[in-house]
Structure 1
Amino acid sequence: MDKYEHEVDTNEDWHMGHAEPEQVLDDIAFYRTLIVNVVFVGKEGSKDWVLVDCGIGHYANRIIEAASKRFGDHPPKAIILTHGHFDHVGSARKLADHWDVPIYIHPMEMDYVTGKRDYPVGDATVGGGLFALMSPFFPTDPVNLSKYIHPIPQDGKLPFLEGWRVIHTPGHTPGHISLFRDKDRTLLAGDAIITVKQESSMAVFIQHQHVHGPPAYFTHNWQEAEKSVKKLASLNPKVALTGHGLPMDDELLAKQLSDLASNFKELAVPKHQNKLH
């Protein structure tokens, strides 16, 4: 999928009419909301599709436009959230209001999306660039999606996503999930792994592809994060679409994900955190 290195538009869609979904597979597409991806699961023109994550705030209209270009006037059957950080739920309420659809999240994330609990403040000491330095100022207040939110069923089966299963991948947040489809080994990883160095604004701007651990400034349990990366590597995904960065596949994905799993403490964990574990 090296073509995405050349096709991605680094100029954000500030004007309506330019929100274009990027196709990855015949039933997977994504749209980047400034710094984070939202994922459309469903074939073009389908009446049975699902939105995974909702991007940052003030992007609802552009997400709706990108969805309409792929699916016409058909609303999604549901919204699935990988976790409740501000850059994944920012437009959730407006999208759910517009489409009148349910939102699903892991039970361990419910307090963060029902106004009951704050996430920890971002850690500026992880180093690595402007986003890390800015992270203490990123929103951590709980959103309140009580009107629409539902816990993902305990059996791990996703509503309206036949053939997909939930992989609990905590570490970045307690109830973080990834989604995996066994038949073609497609992985929607959220922020359990990402394919850009998210701490660096320059890396985000140029979208240089490389498998990384979760965004360090918002990851507060590195032992769980390491277990989650090893769990994803054991699935041997053929295609991965992550919360930040461009899609990756085949040998490059396999090698870099394996390297990350084998050398997680050296490659992902901030040095001062390494000393604590």
Structure 2
Amino acid sequence: MDKYEQHEDHNETWHMGHAEAEQVIEDVAFYRTLIVNVIFIGKPKDSNWVLVDCGIGNYAKRIIEAAEKRFGEHPPKAIILTHGHFDHVGSAEKLAEHWNVPIFIHPKEMDYVTGKRDYPVGDATVGGGLFSILSPFFPTKPVDISKYIHPIPENGSLPFLDDWKVLLTPGHTPGHISLFRESDRTLLAGDAIITVKQESSMAVFIQHQHIHGPPAYFTHNWENAEESVKTLAKLQPRVVMTGHGLPMEGELLAEQLQELAGNFKELAVPKHKNKLH
């Protein structure tokens, strides 16, 4: 059994009021906001830390509580968004306001977080379970966090994260990014890949670990999504933390990621969309 699977029941109890981050490696931890993860980069008690993604709405207080338990009263240096979907930016404005910190996102996502453009409506035809059926009702209207938002620099560097690099991994959204640290091959993949079958509410509840393509109901460019998965597979990450699901590491991660990259159309793309864009 993977060491993270042992914490499934404990993880569920956190959502009932105990906001505490689960450590993945020494300087990476995560807290799950109902269906999506927020990630803390920084060692415990470190004053130089960064938050990646902001979860769904109404979770700001619990994210702050989890952050304070890990870092004390030190606010993050910045917030970095992998993309602008509702379940990754829901608490962004309240967190930025509370901590008075900047938020960074790829320039290709900027219109979706400055009130200018809607994401496509969720696609209920992709199959897979309850979340797919409900996806047309998920929020897609643009949020407007113009007061705090900044573009990630064109050179691909990440503010306050010198040892990490940003990878443009589009497909799920036009400007989706992943973060990678070469020194220990740690990958924060956002929704470019995930470790749970997100279309199924039962799979999300059980949190059985398995590498999957991006959430199908919100992915609208499968050709780009496939190229992004191949890009991530070439990195041969040792540890991966994704936007949905529990961390994975080691041989199981390597085998499943290579399998997904090599058989993406069969494993990830809904059958009726197999003629890629």
Instruction: Tell me the TM-score normalized by structure 2.
Output: 0.98
Deviations for 1:21-54, whole angstroms, at most 9, x for unmatched residues? 0000000000000000000000000000000000
Q: Secondary structure at the match of 2:12?
A: coil
Residues 153-168 of structure 1: matches in 2 within 5 Å?
A: 153-168=153-168
Cα pair 1:12 1:34 within 8 Å, conserved: no
Cα pair 1:171 1:223 within 8 Å, conserved: yes
Q: Tell me the residue number matched to 2:217.
A: 217
- 1:78, distance to aligned residue in structure 2 (A): 0.1
* Cα distance in structure 2, aligned partners of 1:275 and 1:161: 39
Instruction: Tell me the TM-score normalized by structure 1.
Output: 0.98
* Cα distance in structure 1, aligned partners of 2:109 and 2:173: 8
Residues 1-16 of structure 1: matches in 2 within 5 Å?
A: 2-8=2-8, 9-11=11-13, 13-15=15-17
* Cα distance in structure 1, aligned partners of 2:46 and 2:250: 27
Cα pair 2:14 2:20 within 8 Å, conserved: no
RMSD over aligned CA atoms reads 0.9
Q: Tell me the residue number matched to 2:66.
A: 66
- AA aligned to 1:88 is H
5+ residue gaps, structure 1, are: none
* Cα distance in structure 1, aligned partners of 2:94 and 2:263: 41
Cα pair 2:116 2:142 within 8 Å, conserved: yes
Aligned residue pair count: 275
* Cα distance in structure 2, aligned partners of 1:205 and 1:6: 14
* Cα distance in structure 2, aligned partners of 1:222 and 1:122: 14
Cα pair 1:185 1:237 within 8 Å, conserved: yes
Q: Tell me the residue number matched to 1:235.
A: 235
* Cα distance in structure 2, aligned partners of 1:97 and 1:140: 23
Q: Tell me the residue number matched to 2:84.
A: 84
Cα pair 2:222 2:276 within 8 Å, conserved: no
The yes-or-no answer on 1:132 pairing with 2:132 is yes
- 1:4, distance to aligned residue in structure 2 (A): 1.6
Q: Percent identity?
A: 77
Q: Tell me the residue number matched to 1:22.
A: 22
Q: Tell me the residue number matched to 1:205.
A: 205
Q: Secondary structure at the match of 1:37?
A: strand
Q: Tell me the residue number matched to 1:143.
A: 143
Which stretches of structure 1, 4 residues or more, deviate above 6 A after TM superposition? none
